[in-house]
Amino acid sequence: MGALAIKNVTKRFGDTHILKGIDIHIDAGQFLILVGPSGCGKSTLMNIIAGLEAPTSGEVQIGERVVNDVAPKDRDIAMVFQSYALYPTMNVRQNIAFGMETRGVPRKEQEETITRVSKMLQIDHLLDRKPGQLSGGQRQRVAMGRALARNPTLFLFDEPLSNLDAKLRVEMRTEIKQLHHRLKTTIVYVTHDQIEAMTLGDRIAVMKDGVIQQFGSPEEIYERPANLFVAGFIGSPSMNFIDCHLAEQGGDVGISLQSEGGVRFVPLLDGRRFADRLGQKVILGVRPEQIEVAEEGEPALECKVHLTEPTGPDTMIFTQINGKEVIARVHPRAAGRPGDSMRLKLDVRKVVLFDPQTEARLN
Amino acid sequence: MHDQNKLWRIALYGVLLYAAVYYLLPLYVMVTTSVKSMDEIRAGNLIALPMSITFDAWTKAWATACTGVDCNGLSGYFWNSVKMVIPAVLISTSLGALNGYVLSKWRFKGSELTFALILFGVFIPFQVVLLPMAQTLGWFGLARSVAGLIFVHVVFGIASTTLFFRNYYVGIPDELIKAARLDGAGFWRIFFKVVLPMSTPIVMVVLIWQFTQIWNDFLFGVVFSSGDSQPITVGLNNLANTSTSVKEYNVDMAAAIIAALPTIVVYVLAGKYFVRGLTAGAVKG
């Protein structure tokens, strides 16, 4: 069953096009992430789903119902805001109860809901406190509690973790994921953080300049990015982009890589597909972990280590290929020291190619 | 070094003391003069403490002093002012709160222009509108009545009360309003349940501001009222200007204190909110 369908939605303020034809369909129970840099239109899209803003054209469907003309309160949604938006003069209990009171839920049922929700989020000892007396993490929980009390068909989260410190952010991220597993309610989640996007989402919509660049599962987006922007936006450290030319050698189509230690021809899998582009410029996209340390005797590229960044489990090696700085993620024990030379190879099964003009993926 | 510091301290306190005395002296003279008898005033010196305290001047100022032809003291004027100031303050404050709420949280096409036009009202000199306002009051049948004065003060108060509330409400995050809308609350419920409870500091500021403005107003009072609808500022003026054989300084002083007392009381009772409210916009809620 479809839980949310956004059909060719546009939004314009005067001559400024915020959204240029957005199409998204997700099924009930899915966790949809809207991710992109600031100004990409993700928050506007969220507000349109919530009914806080009206689209210039297009259609929003929640469940089986077109909700373009339905007031926010009647859309059966609940929202968690970046600033939490707790009512400062009410205590936690009143904050959670406010929506139910407005809807005329009987007092007994209100009490039950408050008990259930506050237990679930472990805020039952805070019910009589005002938001000002709570820590950031506790406020976050109360904001979620207020949304849970609604028991909606659709949850909207608008950058809910960006006001928390790093440690708490990771903890709350896990909690939100657990909550989703337990409740199985459809969630739309806006973030600019690609790690949140990857860890939480069932479906990710990567947005830029009011256009969805790619819509797919986290794996698809990570492994097969639709274009240079998506490839560079998702993943940390970013994917390496290496300018090279398609060439033919011994019947194989491949690319030639030049490091400070030598030149190597790397045949591409399925390279014959690019036979018509021989001699043309392409951009090779390779993630840091797809550059590996070559075994003894294996063909490899001699690379000079410029800098190392140990992160603990991995060490980032900064080197140079085809005149571009390239980062390789290797095991700490295999990492050379700055000034050393390392024998590196590409995992050709996973590398991607982009057209330098259109920036779209080629393979 | 230490001695120099001490010297600075002494100089500082000296200046502060001087400033305090400078400002308190008139009040001291008013109070002491108001409880002296006329004989003592004539014989004694201005800043001497009273030899014996008498409240005759106060009772006279309140009940029997002549304000023109009538000799009923200030009491009638005082109650006129009370009857004028309470509704005028409450109405102008309520309207200001509502205006501010709409202009900051329910913007519409032209709301900025509306605000700019309302703001204009803050800068209009009162004298400019005396004649048109007299005409308007005449049309409404409110000329020379307390109700007319209330109307004038409300109309003139709205500009500043709107300004105060609007600027305070701009500081309330819009997400709070969005959250309340998603919770199903409408215009009024959001106003009364969410926004108004957050407004205590600014309500206090506006109440004190409006009370002081309206209570102390003389121009509108003297122009738009007459006889038994005149406010206390006009009464005080009449009392001080009514020439009898002798100038009764003690009665004048007592009358002036009576006229000023309510604003002083309001400021003492709610003054802490005033300072807090003026700076409240800067602090997160």
- The 10s digit of each residue's pLDDT in A197-255 is 999 999 999 999 999 999 999 999 999 999 999 999 999 899 999 999 999 888 888 99
Alpha helices, DSSP H, located in B106-231 = 111-123, 130-140, 146-170, 174-182, 187-189, 200-216, 219-224
In a domain, B28, yes or no: yes
A81 to B197: CB separation less than 8 angstroms, yes or no: no
Q: How many CA atoms within 13 Å lie on the side-chain side of B32?
A: 16
pLDDT classification of A1: cutoffs 50, 70, 90:
low
Decide if A2-233 and A240-354 have a common fold: no
Interface with chain A: mutation pick from B182, B188, B191, highest number of A CBs within 10 Å: B182
Residue B137 sits in a domain of what CATH number?
1.10.3720.10
Instruction: Please list every residue in chain B whose beta carbon sits closer than 8 Å to the beta carbon of residue A87.
Output: 176, 179-180, 193-194
Poorest-confidence range of A321-325, B160-164, B241-245?
Answer: B241-245
Q: Which residues have CB under 8 Å from B285's CB, separation 6+?
A: A88, A132, B172, B198
In a domain, B252, yes or no: no
| Cα–Cα distance, B78 to A260 (Å, whole number) | 95
- Measuring CA to CA, which residue among A215, A177, A212 is closest to residue A196? A177
pLDDT of residue A52: 93
pLDDT of residue B1: 57
What per-residue string of b and e applies to B4-17 under the rule 16 or more CB within 10 Å gives b? eeeeeeeeeeeeee
- Pairwise pLDDT comparison (B279 vs A61), residue with the higher score: A61
Mean pLDDT, chain B, rounded, equals 90
A87 to B176: CB separation less than 8 angstroms, yes or no: yes
CB pairs under 8 A between A and B: 57
Q: Which residues have CB under 8 Å from A15's CB, separation 6+?
A: none
Domain A240-354, CATH: 2.40.50.140
Average pLDDT over residues A183-208: 94
pLDDT surpassing 60 at residue B281 = no
pLDDT classification of B279: cutoffs 50, 70, 90:
low
Per DSSP, the three-state class of A272 is helix
CB contacts under 8 A, A 81-100 vs B, are 81-83, 85-90, 98-99
pLDDT of residue A80: 94
pLDDT of residue B186: 93
Instruction: Please list every residue in chain B whose beta carbon sits closer than 8 Å to the beta carbon of residue A50.
Output: 178, 182
Average pLDDT over residues A122-141: 93
Domain that holds residue B40: 2-54
Burial of B180 (0-12, 13-18, 19+ CB in 10 A): buried
Q: Where are the domains of chain A?
A: 2-233, 240-354
Is there a single domain that holds both residue B129 and residue B7? no
Residue B54 token pair? 């008498």
| Cα–Cα distance, B45 to B48 (Å, whole number) | 6
| Cα–Cα distance, A242 to B153 (Å, whole number) | 74
What's domain A2-233's superfamily in CATH?
P-loop containing nucleotide triphosphate hydrolases (3.40.50.300)
Burial of B95 (0-12, 13-18, 19+ CB in 10 A): middle
Q: What is the pLDDT of residues B182-241, one digit of tens each?
A: 999 999 999 999 999 999 889 999 999 999 999 999 999 999 988 888 999 999 999 988
In a domain, B188, yes or no: yes
| Cα–Cα distance, A254 to A266 (Å, whole number) | 5
Triad A334, A338, A340: Cα angle to 5°: 65
Is there a single domain that holds both residue B40 and residue B95? no
Distance from CA of B149 to the nearest CA of A (A): 36
Is there a single domain that holds both residue B168 and residue B229? yes
Average pLDDT over residues B21-28: 93
pLDDT surpassing 50 at residue B283 = no
Mean pLDDT, chain A, rounded, equals 93
pLDDT classification of B108: cutoffs 50, 70, 90:
very high
Burial of B120 (0-12, 13-18, 19+ CB in 10 A): exposed
Is there a single domain that holds both residue B6 and residue B86? no
Is there a single domain that holds both residue B159 and residue B23? no
| Cα–Cα distance, A113 to A105 (Å, whole number) | 10
pLDDT surpassing 60 at residue B285 = no
Per DSSP, the three-state class of A286 is strand
Q: What is the pLDDT of residues B225-259, one digit of tens each?
A: 888 889 999 999 999 888 677 788 999 999 999 99
Q: What is the pLDDT of residues A30-89, one digit of tens each?
A: 999 999 998 899 999 999 999 999 999 999 999 889 999 999 999 999 999 999 999 999
pLDDT classification of B277: cutoffs 50, 70, 90:
low
Is there a single domain that holds both residue B263 and residue B171? yes
Distance from CA of A97 to the nearest CA of B (A): 10
pLDDT of residue A341: 92
Average pLDDT over residues A320-343: 93
Q: What is the pLDDT of residues A277-305, one digit of tens each?
A: 888 999 999 999 999 999 888 888 999 99
- Measuring CA to CA, which residue among A70, A74, A69, A24 is closest to residue A46? A24
B176 touches chain A (CB under 8 A): yes
pLDDT of residue B5: 87
| Cα–Cα distance, B163 to B117 (Å, whole number) | 11
A77 touches chain B (CB under 8 A): yes
A50 to B182: CB separation less than 8 angstroms, yes or no: yes
Is there a single domain that holds both residue B103 and residue B215? yes
